[in-house]
Structure 1
Amino acid sequence: MPLSTYDSVVVDGVQGHVFISSRTDHSVVVTDLTGNVVTTMANLPGAAGMVLAPDGDSLYVALSRGGAVAEIDTLTLAEVGRHPVGEVCPSELATTGDLLIFSYGCATWEAGVGRATVEPFFGDVRRGLVAGEYSAPLLATTPGRPGLVAVGMPGLSPADVSIHQIVGDSFVLQASSTATSNLRDIALSTDGSLLYAAAGASSELQSFTTDSLALRAGYTVGAYPNAVAVSRDANVLAAGVDAYYDPDVFIYRNGQFAPSRVYDFADLQTDPKLLAPGGLAWGPGGKWLYAVTSDFETAPTLNILRG
């Protein structure tokens, strides 16, 4: 891909596009579902986390060096809005109902979580709904549980994870835990009953109940879990690790704990790279999994794996 670094990946199954952002390149590369580059959207300062609007008409891009969220028309691939959220270095994005949730943080222990309305128009920006965090938190939501927001602190040992319910203009803490370390990625199950955590200090993809964050049975994947993705239109889960000499991606179907497919990038690439943190995203119907690999010397690679 025509990028020097990777930050986030999103798949738009309706329009048939894959979006890959890079905050150092200030751009988003767009490919089709077969991996061919369609265009590169530039002038996106610090392009970081991305999320599709609930209706799929817009892609939101956090501009970590622009104090704003860019809005991209998913049909025309044109920027149709740039919405200020404050000079707070917005980083990760998620949606729930008519709200856009964003994490932010320019300095340690000054990070937090905010939100903005996106329907009928972008506005009513509020910050500090979660405050005093070490760095910009990871976020996870699911259409199956509107108003439920998972928040995870990346990189720390132990790492704080928490579940919040949006009530009016506030985030109400439902549960919190420090039962994980070196957190790299999180995702909610489709029905919102489980939180999956890819944490580098574990050899499992960890699983927690969202009502109390009680630890459930995990998925054995080996050292350094760093990515998790849940298909929203198929009962399939993907987990990934950054392993040089072991399998990298594991696919689980229908709630099973034994993987239905396992992939090792050493077998798929002539010059193997590591799976990027948070580098997994499902295509429509859980048929194809998009995996971004990267290293410190060459451009990121978009891999397309059969689900």
Structure 2
Amino acid sequence: MRHSKKLSLLIASLALLAGAALRPAAAVAAPEPAVTVLPFTNPSDVVSTGDRVFVSGGSESKQIVVTDAAGAVIGTVDGLDGPTRLQLSTDRRTLYVTLPPAGKIAAFDTRSLRRTATYDIGEGSCPSSLAYTGRYVWFGYGCENGDGNIGRIDLLRGPTLVTKGLADAFFYYPPLLASATRNPRVLLAGNQRLSPSVDIAYAIGADGKLTRISATTSDDSGSNGRDVALDPAGSTAFSASGAPSQVQSYPVENMAKTGTAYETGSYPNAVEAARDGTRVAAGADAPFGPDVFVFNLDGTLVTQFEVGGSGDTLVPGALAWSPDGSRLYAVTEGGHLHVLPVPAA
């Protein structure tokens, strides 16, 4: 009898263990999107170092807001003259910001938030876009219609050398610029607000000279250019234009050919490649539908978000990936930073 009871208890225990093993684990809820109200209503740009996010206040502001990865405000950089576009160095230790009203570009340490340099681009230059390729910080500039051009800051020259007038093409407005995180030899320049909005890929020589690789044509360019991007290798260019209703990719070696299209719906206005090159984020000026989209490279949709209504649409170009690809940061016209969780691959 004693042995029978022991055997019965053993069988019951094994049954319970088997049931526990077969029972599915409790699902872990995905993080919800979060929204941070910014202290300015016309923000301009956003970048992420991983544990810190920087949002510029725009031409009417004096401030850059700093948040943690979850969007909680942890500091500010104050006393700036209209901070607009932002650019991180490849190691994410230095933040560059354009100050168009002052005709300057400033650099800040991303940990201490101290200003480390100020580059005088010239009175009446209005620097308005940035790209970083190691030795050079590139900027698109121009205050008046018809005087858009490309310049560079040579970080290895002492004193630092600023050179302007480097474009081999006519830019009615300051060109949009993009660089590749793993290839310092390629620069992408895009026409903004024109129809067609032709994009040009340049090779960067050892002396900083720009040599044209290829360009889109009037047939394959979009209209009303809003943002451009490069994949980390610098082999694929992306363009977000007001029309057609998609972000278009191009092989850098021959941009007269189109690659994968990423369908966003009406009025695309932002594009950003993930740091590992496996995904593409796109945004649209969409007051009544999804605004932010994540795609695999083949164009399949991973997820999408609606970040605001008619009075809170996405700022052109104001999308940023976290370095690990787990979050997207989107800034909207109403003065909000949206922290958007991205599903793992």
TM-score, reference length from structure 1: 0.91
Partner Cα separation in structure 1 for residue 341 and residue 144 of structure 2: 40
Report the AA paired with residue 324 of structure 2.
Answer: G
Contact 1:116 1:122 survives alignment (8 Å): no
Partner Cα separation in structure 2 for residue 94 and residue 63 of structure 1: 15
Please provide the CA RMSD for this pair.
Answer: 1.8
* Structure with the larger helix share: 2
- In structure 1, the gaps of 5 or more residues are none
Contact 2:307 2:338 survives alignment (8 Å): no
Partner Cα separation in structure 1 for residue 129 and residue 240 of structure 2: 16
Partner deviation per Cα, 1:149-176 (whole Å, 9 max, x = no partner): 0000111111121011112242111112
Report the AA paired with residue 165 of structure 1.
Answer: A
Deviating above 3 A after TM superposition, structure 1's stretches of 4 or more consecutive aligned residues are 119-122
SS in 2 for 1:211: helix
Report the AA paired with residue 154 of structure 1.
Answer: Q
- Aligned counterparts, 1:256-271, within 5 A: 256-265=298-307
SS in 1 for 2:102: coil
SS in 1 for 2:60: coil
The residue number in structure 2 matching 1:242 is 285
Report the AA paired with residue 340 of structure 2.
Answer: L
Partner Cα separation in structure 1 for residue 330 and residue 314 of structure 2: 7
Deviation, 1:46, is 2.1
Residues 1:138 and 2:176 are matched in the alignment: yes
SS in 2 for 1:257: coil
Deviation, 1:125, is 1.0
Residues 1:219 and 2:262 are matched in the alignment: yes
SS in 2 for 1:146: strand
Pair 1:5–1:121, CA change in 2 (3 A): farther
SS in 1 for 2:200: strand
- In structure 2, the gaps of 5 or more residues are 1-37
Partner deviation per Cα, 1:39-96 (whole Å, 9 max, x = no partner): 2212221212111123322111111111211111111111122121222111111101
The residue number in structure 1 matching 2:231 is 189
Pair 1:202–1:68, CA change in 2 (3 A): same
The residue number in structure 1 matching 2:144 is 107
Report the AA paired with residue 160 of structure 1.
Answer: V
Report the AA paired with residue 280 of structure 1.
Answer: L
Report the AA paired with residue 304 of structure 1.
Answer: V
Partner Cα separation in structure 2 for residue 83 and residue 294 of structure 1: 29
SS in 1 for 2:300: coil
Decide which of 52, 76, 96 is 1:60's aligned counterpart: 96
Partner deviation per Cα, 1:98-137 (whole Å, 9 max, x = no partner): 1101111111111100111224767121100116421111
Residues 1:176 and 2:219 are matched in the alignment: no
The residue number in structure 2 matching 1:7 is 44
Partner Cα separation in structure 1 for residue 312 and residue 103 of structure 2: 32
Partner Cα separation in structure 2 for residue 234 and residue 210 of structure 1: 15
* Structure with the larger strand share: 1
The residue number in structure 1 matching 2:9 is none
SS in 1 for 2:61: coil
- Aligned counterparts, 1:20-39, within 5 A: 20-21=55-56, 22-39=58-75
Partner Cα separation in structure 2 for residue 182 and residue 304 of structure 1: 27
Report the AA paired with residue 101 of structure 2.
Answer: R
Pair 1:234–1:150, CA change in 2 (3 A): closer
Pair 1:160–1:106, CA change in 2 (3 A): same
TM-score, reference length from structure 2: 0.82
Residues 1:301 and 2:343 are matched in the alignment: no
SS in 1 for 2:301: coil
Higher RCO (Cα < 8 Å, 6 or more apart): 2
Report the AA paired with residue 275 of structure 2.
Answer: R
Decide which of 299, 312, 315 is 1:276's aligned counterpart: 315
- Aligned counterparts, 1:68-83, within 5 A: 68-83=104-119
Residues 1:198 and 2:240 are matched in the alignment: yes
The residue number in structure 2 matching 1:165 is 203
Partner Cα separation in structure 2 for residue 231 and residue 80 of structure 1: 28
Partner Cα separation in structure 1 for residue 239 and residue 294 of structure 2: 15
Contact 1:4 1:25 survives alignment (8 Å): no
Residues 1:19 and 2:40 are matched in the alignment: no
SS in 1 for 2:97: strand
The residue number in structure 1 matching 2:126 is 89
